[in-house]
Structure 1
Amino acid sequence: MRKLTMIGGVFGIALAVTAYFAELRNWMSPEAFITIGLAGYVLVITAVAYFLLSWLTKGLKEDLEVL
């Protein structure tokens, strides 16, 4: 699952960067690239949320073992 989330996060960054350059360089059909960029942002946010939640649950499990 971590590998898949990491790939999704990197792919999301690539999509967001592509959308940024499409807007910067005035490529054709900027609406499509804005949609692609939004999908990239969603992928990045999802990957960050997954890693933060897995880090949090791992920390809670370690704290409960100490008690």
Structure 2
Amino acid sequence: MKRIAFAFAVTGTIFAVLAQYAVLNDWTMFWFFHTMGFIGYILIISAAAYFSLLFIHQMSRDEKMRIRNSRGVDA
């Protein structure tokens, strides 16, 4: 799943950069690249959300282990 999220982030970045380039250079199919840029932003946000949730999950798992270990020492 990490590879898919990373691929989404890279693909989304490429789409967003390409859309911005199309806007700045007045390409004829501007509407198509504008739509691709919007899709790119959605992919970037999705990847960022996945990695944020993964980070939060890892932190909570570490905290659970710390609490579990500290209870064993006190008892």
Please report the TM-score for the alignment, with normalisation by the length of structure 1: 0.96
Q: How does 1:25-64 map to 2 (within 5 A)?
A: 25-64=25-64
Alignment RMSD (CA, Å): 0.6
Q: Give the Cα separation in 2 of the matches to 1:46 and 1:60.
A: 21
- Percent sequence identity over aligned pairs: 31
Q: TM-score, normalised by structure 2?
A: 0.86
Question: 1:13, 1:49 → 2: CA distance?
Answer: 15
Structure 2 gaps of 5+ residues are 68-75
- What secondary structure, in the 3-state scheme, does the structure 1 residue paired with 2:58 have? helix
**Structure with greater Cα Rg:** 2
> How far is 1:31 from its partner?
1.2
- Give the number of aligned pairs: 67
Q: Which runs of 4+ in 1 moved over 3 A?
A: none
